[in-house]
Chains A and B, each alone.
Chain A
Amino acid sequence: MLAFPQIPLFFLGFIAILVFLMARFLRIRNVFMALITALSFLCVFVYFVCEDQLLQFLEIHFPSFENTLTGVIAPGVFNSNDPGSVLICMVACGLAFLISLYSAEYLKNDGRQHAFYPLLILMMCGFMGMLFTNNLMTMYLFCELTSICAYTLVAFRRNDDMAIEAGFKYLMMGSVASIVLLMGITLIFQATGTVNLSQIANINDLPVQIGLIMILASFSLKSAFVPLHTWLPDAHGKAPSGISAILSGILLQGFFYTMLRVCLTLGMNRLILSNILICLALLNILVGNLMGLVQTQTKRLLGYSTIAQMGYIGLCFAIGLRTQSTLALQSGFFLIIAHAIAKSLAFLVNGVYYHYFNATEIIDLQQADRLTYFLSLAFGISVLSLAAIPPFPGFMGKWTFLTSAFTQMEGWSLVSAIAILAGSLISLGYYLKLLHNLFFKPATDRTDRSSASQQKVSIWMLIPITVLVFLILLITVKPQSIMDGTQPAAQFLLMLMR
């Protein structure tokens, strides 16, 4: 629960401008920009955690504060009682914090860092606004803000043609999705006369239904559901590692959650929604896993793995909607968190290898464990978690889902349980390939890393990786803490269904 989601939004917007101006006119170094960005994300994270205490403090010392805030800044636009959005935003903020630290070293040799950090901040700002807003039009604007920043960040390394192509492809597909989204919103507005989610009635009208379907289609492109997934492997393959991590770790899931929230708030029939989601998710699992098997580049492989994981997450929510089971919804949130941590860890470690060895192909991982052994262990842990090997978080999420699916014993639950099991089985084919290349392949001419053991990995890269490893181990040891955290979010979704 968050009483004033607008505070972090304004704060982030302000910081974005500040960082840009400082970079432009004071010509501060990359490390300082990274630190300021990281610090601001940390502040937002802390604000999420202890908003209550802060508000209490303000109420005692500045009694008129609350009235000012509710009255002046964007009244009625933000939804203040959605624990799911808070959960996702907290994950996003945490990731953005780590990635800003990581970029302090990763972007050292690139130009134009003055554009990178403001874009990152604006992207997160838009992301949070989209999750918290209660108003379709605002949602569209924030969604555009997020997407445009994402397109630009994907093409950040503009001297690489492939990066430009990936960004352009993402831009083209994403813009079509945005237009469809806008059309959907317009239809709903025409039929009901309002864009405020809580005021829209008569949803059984045909235009509203069509509008809903358009919103669904648009968001399923943005959250990479097959067959609208084609932008993703390119974008993830060519974006800077930190951006790939945040795109695949939380952005897709954020779009997905927004779609779920809008559809449910507008009273879409939960069975229809769940049928659509099951079809999409099954396709995702199939395509993601099969295409993952034939990839030769690590980041593209991780991209296809994200598509498959989106399938698992989608299935969890779909079955949760269908059977109204808290446990299935909880498993969805659990998988989102587990995947966010594990996938971003994999991208970040791969980014280190890229930074030091220029490693892009899977075979370039050979002998990479010569460079600080801890890194390859971290990569191993993240891949094992993604592959749902017990007892890592990925497995706990799937176990939870299987439990709820078998409790219901209903046709589609069983089908999805089997799909998840089969998907995990196939996915081992590519996850094990990564581990095999990293740990066990002997050196070839291409991958002679004998000088690597002298290289020191920068502390800015090691800190985020250590934190993520620590988080994975923490969840492995105490999954109950995450399970407790996801409960209010799952119950909120259940409440929306009624």
Chain B
Amino acid sequence: MSQQELIKLGVLLTKLLAALLLAVFGRYIGKKAKWVALGTSILSLGLFLAYIPTLKAGLNIPFEIEYLPTLGIKLSLNIDWLSFPFLLTEEFVTIFAMVYSLDYLKNGNRDHFFYALLLVFSAGMSGTTMANDIFLFYFFWELMLIASTLLLVNWGESEKRGAIALKYFIITHLGSLLVLVAFIMIYTQSGVDHFTSLQAALQTIPEKIPLIGSLFLIGFGVKMALVPFHIWLPDTHSEAPMPVTIMLAAAMLSMGTYGILRFPMSFLSMEQMAVFSLPMMIAGVVSEIYGAIMALVETDIKRIIAYSSVSQMGYILFGLGTMTYSGIVGSTLHVIYHAIVKALLFCCVGWIIKATGKRDINMINGLGKKMPLLSACTVLGALAIAGVPSLALFNSEWLIFSSGFQTPYLALAILEVLGSLLTVVYILRFVGQCFFTSGEVSKVNPVPLSIKIATVSLSGLTIVAGFFPKPLFDYVVNELPLILGGGW
């Protein structure tokens, strides 16, 4: 087995193996479980980073195992430039979620299950991005869903967690089933489940392309929480424990984007995708504005940030829908930046909740004086999500906005830019109400160091990513030859 294959397997198997060990032997190591989980996710990130030279040299070969020849199923793992940005996001977010969770859980009885499931969740996401055949893709896609549901059911914050988890599971599973149907429709045509042969097979059934394309877009749109498939998101994000919320909002939402980029947008050519361009842009604008308005009227601070995700996913879909160079690069960059900023904002929200014990925005007043560090971080995150220049999200928003004007649909492009004004409104309401009102919060509880570390380091990342976009940009641009027939 070559070094390359070892690394690829390692990124996945370290997490799965550690999860298995934690689940079985976790009760014997007690509180050390969290350090095992954190160490594993760092090791996994390290392995992934060690793969970049191979990727740069263009030497990556899929790792394959024969599985079920009768049905042409061959398990295959690969990291290419298209999976790179998503894998990077996911690995980093996992580490931040782990750091955040270090002092989060209170009763230590079943903690090792929490960390095991968090690792499985993370492995599901890395597997989804690394899979190179639909069988494995679907397997990891479901693994991700099951792990997150179990986390939600068991560590949810209120009594309604069972019902919310069920709603989450059923709606997103419906999306997965649509994707599965699309997969199988192409797969029966090719007889082999490898991505490249599927792409060739899809071109032999041009009459089914509209159907398959819509199944993919709707299926992945559910995972992306686009309006009107977003209904699972606000409940789920506000119910989940904070580390899981960070994983869900920052990493799992981007899996829907990955699915759209990986399947319809790389299987089909520019002409074939042109049909979907307008619907995608409209859906993007609708999600953006709807999410922002809902964020404006919510009073629960966790739900405000959750609706902000719906809005941000709208930007991403709009960018993808323009089918232009800057739109696609901008959307991919937006995924990464959004992950950083959204993780930061949820960390801040978690900090506020931990410190004040309240979630209603009208009850939280004047934290600015008492907690300067928190207010600095939150303001930074708020400015970033509002698209202030030189902070992370500005670069990608710029690209997405400019892509809109390269399409014939000027009205939509203008609506998109104006819609971003709503983002400023809801995020300033949030910051202003929490930190800069005159009232006083009676009591502020001490907050664990791990939460502070996670928040501050994410703020640092927001600034660094905003000031130095070039390295990331250079990496992300490499995905373009894989998309829409590669004719850029």
List the interface of chain A (C-beta within 8 A of B): 327, 330, 373, 377, 389-391, 396, 399-400, 402-403, 406-407, 417, 421, 425, 428-429, 432, 436, 439-440, 442, 479-480, 483-484, 487
Contacts and interface: CB of A to CB of B under 8 A. Distances in A.
A479 B67 contact: yes
A436 to B, nearest CB: 6
Nearest to B146: A389
A403 B138 CA distance: 14
Contacts of A327: 71
Given A389-B142, A440-B150, A480 B188 contact: no
A272 to B, nearest CB: 27
Given A390-B138, A390-B139, A425-B174, A402 B69 contact: no
B188 A406 contact: yes
Interface in B5-36: 24
Interface stretch (B179-187, B312-320, B419-427): B179-187
A10 B119 CA distance: 55
Contacts of A377: 24
B181 A421 contact: yes
B184 A390 contact: no
A202 B24 CA distance: 64
The 10 closest A-B CB pairs, nearest first, are A390-B139, A407-B188, A440-B154, A483-B70, A406-B188, A406-B184, A479-B68, A402-B184, A421-B177, A480-B68
B110 interface: yes
A487 B70 CA distance: 10
Contacts of A440: 110, 113, 150, 153-154
Nearest to A373: B24
A402 B182 CA distance: 11
Nearest to A390: B139
B70 A480 contact: yes
A8 B60 CA distance: 56
- The SS class assigned to the A binding surface is helix
Interface string B109-139: 1100100000000000000000000010011
A457 B463 CA distance: 58
B441 to A, nearest CB: 33
Contacts of B173: 425, 428
Interface in B39-74: 67-71
A407 B169 CA distance: 29
B170 interface: yes
B444 interface: no
A440 B161 CA distance: 13
A396 B139 contact: no
B188 A429 contact: no
A390 B113 contact: no
B184 A403 contact: yes
Contacts of A402: 180, 184
B453 interface: no
Nearest to B189: A407
A428 B68 contact: no
A403 B180 contact: no
B194 to A, nearest CB: 15
Contacts of B166: 429
Interface string B136-174: 001100110010011001100000000000100110011
B117 to A, nearest CB: 10
Nearest to A377: B24
B162 to A, nearest CB: 8
